Structure 1
Amino acid sequence: MNDTDADIAAIKQVVATVEHTQCHELVDEFVALFREDAVWTTGHGRLLTGRAEIAAFTAEVLPGGMMGLTATYEVVHILFIRSDVAAVKVRQRYLTLDGDPVEGGHEGSPLYVMSKEAGRWLLTACQNTGVVAD
């Protein structure tokens, strides 16, 4: 495996961990995926700056937020801006616990800018965007 393949695998693992922490409502594990000075814009446009602010918001909304739901996060595109910075486009789908799409087709299209810090890929600047059905 070359360096690029290893980085792609590591980035996909971060996204898989986002999925796992969201589905299992694991606030601390989710927040640990961010750089200390990260920027996060929620699906409703709220700007969160820094890990502490992201943690406070996540602690408010995540517990109980997935009740009766699960979600999938699929990496659909990775653009390496530099060897240690990547823009990662994700397809986020909400499903019932039976695996059926949630009524209304709720889907997200997050963009994660990730940076490699001391050999570890971290969420750095992220925008969570809902997909509007046509």
Structure 2
Amino acid sequence: MTAPRIEDNSLDHTADVEAIRQVIADVEKGFNDNDADLLVEHFAENGSAVSVNGRQLDGRDMMLEVSRAALAGPLRDERARYRLADVVFVRPDVAVAHKHAWATDAAGEPVDVGHAMSALYVLTKEGERWWVVARQNTLVPGS
């Protein structure tokens, strides 16, 4: 038996990709501005995230609580640049997106911290809005 290729090519997803790109931009801005509310704004109420250290955060309230503590504490002076690397629509209302991230200084210039990050997002469209239902962060060692 051959595995199926699960991808929705029935629609023009140009506007959807731009909307998902904006979600990633808001997450970046929330991180860089130490704004936990914006960081989790696009997560569904029952969304789930796994941090780079493997901690599973279930529910938007938990993500907000942990984000507030991290952005006020160990991540307070950290900055990053995010890039939407890839989006695959498995259904018209479900997307899998990959985000790449690099550490930057306050001016947005890259800094070498010995790693970058890759994140996998699962998003679903409710009405005209895309919501993150899951995110998995993974540190990528420097080369």
TM-score by length of 2: 0.85
Shift of 1:6: 0.7
* Structure-2 residue corresponding to 1:122: 131
Could you tell me how far 1:29 is from its partner in structure 2? 1.8
Q: What amino acid sits opposite 2:35 in the alignment?
A: L
1:36 to 39, 45, 53: 45
Contiguous gaps of at least 5 residues in structure 2: 1-10
Deviation of 1:81 (Å): 1.2
How large is the Cα RMSD of the aligned pairs? 1.6
User: 1:82 & 1:90 partners in 2: Cα distance?
Assistant: 20
2:109 & 2:40 partners in 1: Cα distance?
Answer: 28
> Which aligned runs of 4 or more in structure 1 are off by greater than 4 angstroms?
none
Indicate whether 1:93 and 2:107 are aligned.
Answer: no
Change (3 A) 1:59 1:99: closer
The aligned length equals 132
Q: Distance in 2 between matches of 1:9 and 1:100?
A: 24
C-alpha separation in 1, matches of 2:113 and 2:26: 26
**1:22 counterpart letter in structure 2:** F
**Among candidates 117, 120, 130, match of residue 111 of structure 1:** 120
Distance 1:98 1:10 in 2: 26
1:63 maps onto 2:67 in alignment: no
Please name the residue that 1:77 is paired with. 86
Distance in 2 (alpha carbons) for counterparts of 1:33 and 1:109: 18
Alignment of 1:20 onto 2:39 = no
Query: Match for residue 102 of structure 1?
Result: 111
Q: Distance in 1 between matches of 2:135 and 2:17?
A: 18
Q: TM-score normalised to the size of structure 1?
A: 0.90
On the 8 A contact 2:103/2:112 being kept in 1, the answer is: no
Structure 1, unmatched stretches of 5+, are none
Q: 1:52 aligns with which of 49, 58, 61?
A: 61
- CA offset digits 1:22-56 (Å, max 9, x no partner): 10011112222100000100000000101111111
Amino acid at match of 2:29: H
Contact 2:27–2:40 (Cα < 8 Å) also in 1: no
Taking the aligned partners of 2:83 and 2:76, their CA distance within structure 1 comes to 18
